[in-house]
């Protein structure tokens, strides 16, 4: 009975994650709560995740990534990626750089750091970002498989292994196969994959060329009934449109308070359906359309693209319910999803992870919100004090410590902690950086993942599924591992890779036991399969982050990612068979 409850809960969890109706962390906690109610798990089983060494290492690495990010600013990239490079030269340098960094630094911060720089470079060259964003993500994912610390998925897997008191995967289990799939993958993207990449205008360029689709300027005439009236009297809770700015005597008022009193000659800027604005002008006496509406009117604004990340509190909320203008000092003038602008009133649109939002913001636009990833490059301020020899060598000391931890010359936990202390000593990292690096949703997801894996194992559900795999594949190890690899590949296409690892880990243990072989090759197979997410934007955070900036459709990922998935998977199965003598 308990195995049925666990399997049913996991199936519902996968379906709920795929529907993207709620935050993954909440869904995982709901699943764990079910196991507690039915006494499949005890509270102490869940609390074990809080003291799991590999989970703690994940957060230490996120903090360390912040240190490397602050040390190597945009000046370094200006040197590496010179403006006179040809597009394919830039592409090759970009992929080699991010895949190399991803082997040592968690890949999500790398993509987050590089998106604004890549967009800036391609904009200056007049090239479409769609030719470079998928390669950025894919190269980072590939490089992350070279070491155990390249992605949190690998560390989570080692955490599950440690929890089960089995032999941990070491750097050799990732290094050789990781290098092979990275070289093959980058070669494919540079040659065949590059020809499959779409040429698409950026969403911001579309907005500039079609501004009247989004923004209309009106003026309050001398005879208007609006003069002396508050905004809320006539212009609040409008259907299909909203007022996002008032310009009075050359000064901008944004966001616009409901209590703001209108004056003669005020210029009101509305966003939404132009037909609805035209209807408003007809209905409100003394409100007229301005003679022209061009982007020049908005030079005092920042026109910014932003992506809604997977852990954003904005997900599932309507724009008008999110208090957006007050929080960011900016207005959403359009939303893009799957490479297309979402039609209808902006205020009524329910926000989803991966949405690209186009903003018009003032000079004091609030860019320090974790619920929105702004794709705007800010100039890096040079340090006022002259760098000492210690300042210059410290990042390389930190990198050396990390390599010692990866290769197990030193304990990874100790090595990472010492590397962080190096950055603290030279004042690169401060207490506020520690707070920013802690992702509560990720913590919940990791701890709940450990609990779900334990429930699958304790209930006997994992053994039951593993027996089914053997029934289909037979008892030959490679056939069984290949089938488990395909199952993992299918699951990771629709849900996140940490979630996938949590679900398939108990199956891997049970399969290895029933085959009477070492667990190592089975674990390596699910590790590489869980990160083989090139066919959709939703299973991997890196793909989701470039989804909007590249103005991609869902099919763009499948068209480029399907051949890469076949190449990557074939290389993995052949290597595992040869390297582990199966």
| End residue of a domain, out of 325, 355, 374 | 374
End-to-end CA distance of the chain: 36
CA nearest neighbour of 164 among 443, 576, 462, 405: 462
Calculate the CA 5 to chain-centre distance.
Answer: 32
Per the structure, the complete domain to which residue 365 belongs is given by 302-374
The three-state (H, E, C) secondary structure of 410-426, written as one string: CCHHHHHHHHHHHHHHC
Query: Alpha helix locations (H) across 379-496?
Result: 389-406, 412-425, 431-437, 440-458, 461-473, 477-494
What is the rounded CA–CA span in Å between residue 217 and residue 294?
9
Same domain? For 355 and 316 the reply is yes
Same domain? For 306 and 294 the reply is no
What is the rounded CA–CA span in Å between residue 259 and residue 231?
6
Query: 478 in the Ramachandran plot: left (φ > 0), alpha (ψ -120 to 50) or beta?
Result: alpha
Find out whether 437 and 74 touch, Cβ atoms under 8 Å: no
What is the rounded CA–CA span in Å between residue 236 and residue 139?
48
Please tell me the total count of domains within the chain: 2
Same domain? For 311 and 331 the reply is yes
Same domain? For 287 and 220 the reply is yes
Give CA separation, 392 vs 66, 70, 275, 422, in Å: 17, 13, 59, 12
Res 384: pLDDT: 40
Same domain? For 323 and 287 the reply is no
Does 285 fall in a domain? yes
Does 329 fall in a domain? yes
Does 317 fall in a domain? yes
What is the rounded CA–CA span in Å between residue 422 and residue 370?
26
User: Is the peptide bond preceding residue 255 cis, with omega within 30 degrees of 0?
Assistant: yes
Same domain? For 284 and 315 the reply is no
| End residue of a domain, out of 374, 398, 413 | 374
Secondary-structure breakdown of the chain: helix, strand, coil percentages, each rounded to the nearest 5? 60, 10, 30
Does 510 fall in a domain? no
Does 23 fall in a domain? no
CATH number reported for the structural domain that contains residue 314 in this entry: 3.30.70.1450
| End residue of a domain, out of 349, 374, 399 | 374
Does 356 fall in a domain? yes
Mean pLDDT of successive 10-residue stretches along the chain, which has 582 residues: 80 72 75 85 76 72 74 63 83 91 79 77 82 92 89 83 85 92 96 88 56 66 87 74 79 80 85 66 76 41 69 78 72 70 68 76 59 57 51 80 80 86 83 72 71 74 70 80 88 74 84 88 93 80 76 84 95 94 84
Cα dihedral across residues 328, 333, 338, 344: positive or negative = positive
Give the global pTM. 0.66
The encoded tokens of residue 25 equal 């962390």
Same domain? For 293 and 307 the reply is no
Same domain? For 289 and 216 the reply is yes
The encoded tokens of residue 345 equal 């009133």
Does 338 fall in a domain? yes
Torsion over CA of 267, 273, 277 and 278, rounded to 10 degrees? 120
Same domain? For 240 and 319 the reply is no
Does 241 fall in a domain? yes
Res 385: pLDDT: 44
Same domain? For 287 and 234 the reply is yes
The three-state (H, E, C) secondary structure of 342-375, written as one string: CCCCHHHCECCCCCEEEEEECCCCCCCCCCCEEC
Same domain? For 310 and 370 the reply is yes
């Amino acid at each position: 009975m308990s195995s049925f409850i666990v399997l049913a809960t996991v199936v519902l969890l996968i379906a709920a994650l795929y529907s993207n109706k709620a935050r993954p962390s909440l869904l995982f906690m709901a699943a764990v709560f079910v196991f507690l109610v039915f006494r499949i798990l005890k509270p102490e089983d869940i609390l074990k995740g809080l003291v799991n060494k590999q989970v703690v290492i994940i957060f230490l690495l996120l903090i360390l990534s912040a240190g490397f990010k602050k040390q190597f600013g945009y000046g370094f990239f200006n040197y590496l990626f010179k403006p006179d490079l040809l597009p394919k030269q830039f592409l090759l340098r970009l992929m080699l750089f991010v895949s190399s960094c991803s082997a040592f630094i968690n890949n999500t911060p790398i993509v987050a750091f590089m998106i604004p720089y890549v967009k800036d470079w391609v904009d200056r060259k007049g090239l479409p970002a769609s030719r470079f964003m998928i390669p950025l993500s894919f190269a980072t994912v590939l490089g992350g498989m070279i070491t155990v610390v390249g992605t949190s998925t690998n560390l989570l897997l080692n955490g599950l292994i440690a929890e089960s008191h089995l032999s941990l995967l070491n750097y050799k289990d990732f290094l050789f196969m990781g290098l092979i799939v990275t070289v093959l993958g980058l070669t494919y993207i540079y040659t065949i994959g590059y020809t499959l990449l779409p040429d698409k205008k950026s969403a911001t360029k579309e907005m500039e060329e079609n501004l009247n689709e989004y923004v209309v300027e009106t003026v309050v005439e001398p005879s208007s009934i609006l003069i002396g009236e508050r905004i809320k009297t006539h212009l609040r809770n409008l259907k299909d449109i909203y007022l996002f700015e008032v310009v009075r005597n050359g000064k901008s008022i944004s966001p616009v308070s409901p209590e703001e009193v209108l004056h003669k000659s005020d210029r009101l800027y509305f966003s939404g359906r132009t037909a609805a604005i035209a209807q408003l002008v007809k209905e409100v006496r003394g409100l007229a359309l301005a003679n022209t509406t061009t982007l020049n009117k908005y030079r005092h604004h920042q026109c910014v693209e932003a992506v809604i990340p997977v852990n954003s509190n904005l997900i599932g909320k309507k724009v008008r319910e999110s208090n957006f203008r007050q929080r960011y000092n900016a207005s959403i003038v359009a939303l893009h999803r799957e490479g297309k602008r979402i039609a209808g009133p902006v205020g009524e649109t329910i926000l989803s992870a991966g949405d690209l939002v186009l903003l018009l913001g003032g000079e004091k636009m609030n860019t320090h919100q974790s619920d929105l990833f702004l794709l705007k490059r800010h100039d890096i301020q040079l340090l006022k004090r002259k760098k000492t020899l210690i300042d210059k060598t410290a990042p390389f000391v930190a990198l050396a410590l990390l390599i010692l931890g990866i290769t197990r010359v030193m304990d990874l936990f100790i090595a990472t902690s010492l590397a962080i202390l190096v950055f603290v000593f030279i004042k690169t990292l401060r207490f506020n950086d520690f707070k920013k690096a802690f992702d509560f949703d990720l913590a919940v997801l990791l701890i709940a993942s450990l609990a779900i894996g334990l429930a699958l194992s304790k209930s006997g559900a994992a053994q039951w599924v593993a027996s089914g795999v053997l029934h289909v594949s037979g008892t030959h190890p490679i056939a069984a591992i290949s089938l488990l690899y395909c199952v993992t590949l299918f699951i990771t296409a629709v849900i996140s890779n940490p979630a996938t690892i949590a679900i398939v880990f108990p199956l891997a243990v049970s399969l290895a036991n029933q085959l009477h072989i070492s667990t190592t090759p089975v674990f390596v197979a699910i590790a590489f399969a869980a990160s083989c997410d090139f066919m959709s934007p939703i299973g991997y955070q890196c793909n989701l982050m470039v989804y909007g900036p590249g103005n991609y459709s869902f099919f763009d990922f499948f068209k480029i990612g399907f051949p890469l998935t076949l190449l990557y998977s074939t290389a993995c199965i052949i290597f595992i068979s040869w390297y582990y003598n199966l």
